[in-house]
């Protein structure tokens, strides 16, 4: 049997566009004489549709789109992720053949952690039916179903009933996720002696990035075919005797089939191919995984590209300070959108050094982007003059520093309105975590490409950009210069915080691993008072992060949907337990 996995970039609510992509892949697969074609989870309506699912018209449109797609399907069996139901909604897989939906599989395990909130919308299914095509029994699962070590899907493989497991996924990206996913599916294949066909969504959806990487696993757990990451692709494989018909199916030790746990419903589908033998395929495509920095870079590029394109922005504006964050943001934007859609604006004050001014212009020249200079002294002078009757003789402090940042934010937003371009905020995760940023100043913008990227990783990515380009696209001096907000003379970030490698070690343990401050200090040999101060800053600045732009999630635990803490609370995580 010839199986294909259609890794497509769907957009939430774009039923016409998503249907067109699905029909195009059906046509391509038919030309390749595919017999079983599988699309990702909720491919028809896009993932995640969130509270659009509360609108009856949205559900009606999804049902209408499914009927229109089904009408174009011939003898090939096509499985499409969709929403079904009215009063009770289900995250489902529609099994289509001969112009109609032959059966509906309903997702059983609904994730409700991290970025997932599926129990808010869907009811769980209960059974995994086994279908038969070309005398090969196969079972369908949706994403989280196959992450579970046992359950109805496992029952479906007992006694040799299912000889292929199909999994439709919309698995969001974070660095390292692909390897973890492949290890899990390899275990599922090996333990049950059954091949696994995994198809994943690709594309950006608000702060989520879906990385694709669809794959086919043999019954021995080996990856026999793998699609590219961060790109649409049709991955086609032939199931031979070694992979399917000759596989020895066995239960794991202690596993017993549960009576009544499996319902054999729409069991037999028509043959998905003509009687004559299929022409042989070339060797299966096994795309090599990307190196970690390139993987991360491509995720950020795709997140920017899809957010800008899918929301209809004509281009982007970036405030270029001559620093590393704005430089990397601009490089990512040019890779994502092309230089014609990127405008850089430098807004110097008397505190900006000649070196950073020169680097801002050099970066713009290297990237070949539109570039403007708007000095902010007249604006900040006007602000200070207006406020002087109220400030009186109070000494200069952070107030005047923040006025500079807010003047820049005002100028950028005015240009955004007039030129119809989205402002990209250049802040990173380290600075956002501890509140080293100015509300309505450097935080302004509609999208923040580096929001989930630690400062030490920003440096690594900047060097990677230059390695990819084969030249210093980002000026070397920008990378090597000690970071500074340049809001007062001789200012350095490390003076207000601590060295970024130390800061990021603390933040990674606290944010990603939920480790206590005392344990962090002990593990890294860091002064406990410093750890306590950094953790305190994280908790104090939740109110700032709530008002910041969204950005692509690329770590296991991003700010926003994945880390929701109250702004007002009096609990502290500095208690030292007896065993610490």
- Token duo for residue 496: 């207000």
User: Residues near 206 by Cβ (< 8 Å), separated by ≥ 6?
Assistant: 307, 550
Q: What gap in Å lies between CA 519 and CA 529, rounded to an integer?
A: 13
Q: What gap in Å lies between CA 211 and CA 202, rounded to an integer?
A: 5
Cβ atoms 139, 132 nearer than 8 A: no
Catalytic residue among 21, 41, 437, 553: 41
Q: Are strands 196-200 and 165-169 parallel, antiparallel or unpaired?
A: parallel
SS (H, E, C) 129-197: CEEEECCEEEEEEECHHHHCCCCHHHHHHHHHCCCCEEEEECCECCCCHHHHHHHHHHHHHHHHCCCEE
Angle at 420 between CA 415 and CA 423, to 5 degrees: 60
Number of helical (H) and strand (E) elements in the chain, helices listed first: 19, 18
How many CB atoms lie under 10 A from the CB of residue 480?
A: 9
118 is catalytic: no
45 is catalytic: no
Residue 355, φ and ψ in degrees, nearest 5: -65, -45
How many CB atoms lie under 10 A from the CB of residue 41?
A: 26
Q: Is the peptide bond before 441 cis (omega within 30 degrees of 0)?
A: no
- Token duo for residue 238: 């032939």
> Given the structure tokens 């099994």, which residue do they identify?
95
Q: List, in sequence order, every residue forming a beta bridge with 423; answer none if it has no partner.
A: 317
Q: What gap in Å lies between CA 155 and CA 535, rounded to an integer?
A: 47
- Token duo for residue 152: 């109805």
Residue ranges of the alpha helices (H) in 420-527?
Answer: 429-434, 455-469, 476-480, 493-496, 500-507, 513, 517-524
Q: What gap in Å lies between CA 418 and CA 98, rounded to an integer?
A: 53
Angle at 303 between CA 299 and CA 305, to 5 degrees: 115
Residue 75, φ and ψ in degrees, nearest 5: -80, -15
What's the alpha-carbon Rg for the chain, to the nearest Å? 27
- What are the b/e assignments for 220-252, b being 16+ CB within 10 Å? ebebbbbbbbbbebbbbbbbeeebbeebeeebe
494 is catalytic: no
Catalytic residue among 143, 182, 233, 451: 143
Catalytic residue among 21, 45, 62, 107: 107
Q: What gap in Å lies between CA 122 and CA 139, rounded to an integer?
A: 21
SS3 content of the chain, % helix, strand, coil (to 5): 40, 15, 45
Q: Name the nearest CA neighbour of 96 among 162, 16, 36.
A: 36
- Catalytic residue set: 41, 107, 143
């Amino acid at each position: 049997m010839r199986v294909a996995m259609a890794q497509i970039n769907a957009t939430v609510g774009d039923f016409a566009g998503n249907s067109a992509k699905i029909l195009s892949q059906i046509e391509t697969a038919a030309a390749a004489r595919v017999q079983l074609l599988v699309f990702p989870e909720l491919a028809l309506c896009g993932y995640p549709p969130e509270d659009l699912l509360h609108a009856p018209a949205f559900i009606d449109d999804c049902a209408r789109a499914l009927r229109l797609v089904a009408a174009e399907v011939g003898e090939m069996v096509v499985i499409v992720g969709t929403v079904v139901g009215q009063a009770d909604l289900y995250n489902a897989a529609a099994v289509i053949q001969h112009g109609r939906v032959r059966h509906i599989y309903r997702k059983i395990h609904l994730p409700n952690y991290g970025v997932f909130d599926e129990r808010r919308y869907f009811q769980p299914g209960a059974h995994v039916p086994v279908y038969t095509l070309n005398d090969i029994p196969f079972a369908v699962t949706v994403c989280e179903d196959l992450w579970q070590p046992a359950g109805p899907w496992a029952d479906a493989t007992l006694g040799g009933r299912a000889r292929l497991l199909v999994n439709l996924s919309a698995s969001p990206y974070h660095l390292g996720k692909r390897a973890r996913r492949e290890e899990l599916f390899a275990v599922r294949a090996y333990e049950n002696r059954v091949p696994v066909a995994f198809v994943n969504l690709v594309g950006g959806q608000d702060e989520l990035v879906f990385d694709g990487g669809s794959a086919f696993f043999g019954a021995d757990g080996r990856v026999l075919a793998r699609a590219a990451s961060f790109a649409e692709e049709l991955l086609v494989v032939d199931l031979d005797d070694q992979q399917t018909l000759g596989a020895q199916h066995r239960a794991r030790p202690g596993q017993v089939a549960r009576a009544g746990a499996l319902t054999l419903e729409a069991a037999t589908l028509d043959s998905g191919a003509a009687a004559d033998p299929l022409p042989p395929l070339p060797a299966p495509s096994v795309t090599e995984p990307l190196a970690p920095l390139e993987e991360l870079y491509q995720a950020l590029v795709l997140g920017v590209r899809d957010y800008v394109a899918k929301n209809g922005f004509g281009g982007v504006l970036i405030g270029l300070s001559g620093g590393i964050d704005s430089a990397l943001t601009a490089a990512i934007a040019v890779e994502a959108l092309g230089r014609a859609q990127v405008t850089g604006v430098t807004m110097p004050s008397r505190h900006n050094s000649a070196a950073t001014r020169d680097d801002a212009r050099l970066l713009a020249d290297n990237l070949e982007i539109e570039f403007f200079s708007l000095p902010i002294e007249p604006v900040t002078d006007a602000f200070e003059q207006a406020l002087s009757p109220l400030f009186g003789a109070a000494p200069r402090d952070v107030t005047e520093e923040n006025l500079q940042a807010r003047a820049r934010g005002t100028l950028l937003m005015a240009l955004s309105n007039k030129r119809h371009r989205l402002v990209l905020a250049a802040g990173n995760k380290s600075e956002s975590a501890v509140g080293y940023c100015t509300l309505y100043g450097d935080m302004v913008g509609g999208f923040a490409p580096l929001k989930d990227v630690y400062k030490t990783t920003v440096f690594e990515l900047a060097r990677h950009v230059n390695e990819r380009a084969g030249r210093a696209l980002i000026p070397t001096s920008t990378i090597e210069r000690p970071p500074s907000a340049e809001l007062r003379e001789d200012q350095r970030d490390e003076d207000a915080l601590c060295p970024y490698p130390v800061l990021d070690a603390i933040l990674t343990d606290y944010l990603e691993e939920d480790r206590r401050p005392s344990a962090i200090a002990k593990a890294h040999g860091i002064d406990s008072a410093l750890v306590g101060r950094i953790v305190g800053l994280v908790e104090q600045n939740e109110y700032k992060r709530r008002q910041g732009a969204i950005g692509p999630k690329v770590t296991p635990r991003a700010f926003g949907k994945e880390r929701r803490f109250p702004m007002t609370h009096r609990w502290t995580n500095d208690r030292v337990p007896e065993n610490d």
